[in-house]
Amino acid sequence: MEVDVLEFKVPVENSKTLFVWDIQPSHTEDQVYVRLLGVFSSFGPLYLLKVSHSSAPNPPGFYALVKFYSAAQASKALRQTDGRTLFQNSPLKVRLSSKQAPHFLSHSSRPLSHACCLELANHCLGFNGWTSDIITLKELTNEEEEEEGGGGGGEENDEGGGRWRRLKFGCLLQLSFPHHGQTTRATAVVEDSFTCSGPDVLLQKRCRLQKMVREKALIQAFTKVLLILLGNGKVMVELKETSDEFLPEQTEGVLQVNEFSWSEFTADEEEAADEELDLTVS
């Protein structure tokens, strides 16, 4: 039986990336995007689909970059779309990427964004296939640090009409897969320093950081999850247990936190990096 394993991390492997070109200019860029999305998403969840105008000296039209989470699904899509007309009069050309990724990316294990984690989990498991519960969410602000924050005296911090504040929140979250009997926990800590000009600003910052720390904890929990896709269409869930896994008795009445530091890339930054890829095909 064919088996494929998906991880909740940004796909960088060539085996998961397809280039599509010879797309005719008979449709608009938005129309091309919708049609390609319909075609390639039928093979499996997509991390990225990007459509761009062909540049000179190539004929007018479009090319596209398609990134799958699964190498097997990318391979199947390649076999069934290359040389097919699909939504236009002439056949499309589809190839696996041959781009050499930089060394720091080739071994990258960057976690997915919060939105991508939700999208992948919902696509493979369904909306009722997993649950997340906040065990503890606490403000960890150190009052002494707060008074000393800003790197300067109080008078300087008050010149702009506000007080220098530092907020820090920690979250312990449990991620469960009830149909698979699997549960894991993760923690996250976020902080921010700012000039507080009023109670409304402080409230907005607190709400934003609470939302951010919940999302970070969920991302961290998903990094421990493996989705095993079976050839019969079923999905299994396994966990990559780590040495810092929490036991129930360890978390009662106390928040255990770890500082996580990883480079955060927005979707726009990821797409900008993809624009720089050399799409020339020999």
Residue 98, in any domain of the structure: yes
Question: 129 and 156 share a domain?
Answer: yes
Question: 179 and 120 share a domain?
Answer: yes
Report the C-alpha gap between 172 and 174 in whole angstroms.
Answer: 7
Residue 277: per-residue pLDDT: 43
Question: 159 and 202 share a domain?
Answer: yes
Global pTM value: 0.78
Of 76, 107, 138, at which residue does a domain stop? 107
CATH code, 95: 3.30.70.330
Report the C-alpha gap between 130 and 149 in whole angstroms.
Answer: 41
pLDDT digits (tens, 9 = 90+) for 108-154: 679 999 999 999 999 999 999 999 999 999 999 876 555 544 444 44
Question: 140 and 223 share a domain?
Answer: yes
Question: 124 and 245 share a domain?
Answer: yes
Give the angle 157-161-164 at the CA atoms, nearest 5°: 35
Residue 275: per-residue pLDDT: 39
Question: 164 and 146 share a domain?
Answer: yes
Question: 56 and 96 share a domain?
Answer: yes
Of 88, 107, 126, at which residue does a domain stop? 107
pLDDT digits (tens, 9 = 90+) for 23-38: 999 999 999 999 999 9
DSSP 99: -
Domain count, the chain: 2
Under-70 pLDDT residues of the chain:
1, 100-108, 143-161, 241-282
Residue 109: per-residue pLDDT: 75
Residue 5, in any domain of the structure: no
Report the C-alpha gap between 101 and 104 in whole angstroms.
Answer: 8
Give the angle 44-46-47 at the CA atoms, nearest 5°: 145
Question: 123 and 237 share a domain?
Answer: yes
Residue 18: per-residue pLDDT: 96
Residue 241: per-residue pLDDT: 67
Question: 118 and 216 share a domain?
Answer: yes
Residue 1, in any domain of the structure: no
**Domain coverage including residue 31:** 12-107
Of 70, 87, 107, at which residue does a domain stop? 107
Residue 83, in any domain of the structure: yes
Question: 67 and 184 share a domain?
Answer: no
Report the C-alpha gap between 277 and 107 in whole angstroms.
Answer: 18
Q: What is the DSSP string of 240-252?
A: ---TTPPPGGGST
Residues with Cβ within 8 Å of 51's Cβ and at least 6 positions away in sequence, in order, are 23, 29, 32, 33, 36, 62, 63, 64
Torsion of the alpha carbons at 145, 146, 147 and 152, rounded to the nearest 10: 90
Residue 2: per-residue pLDDT: 76
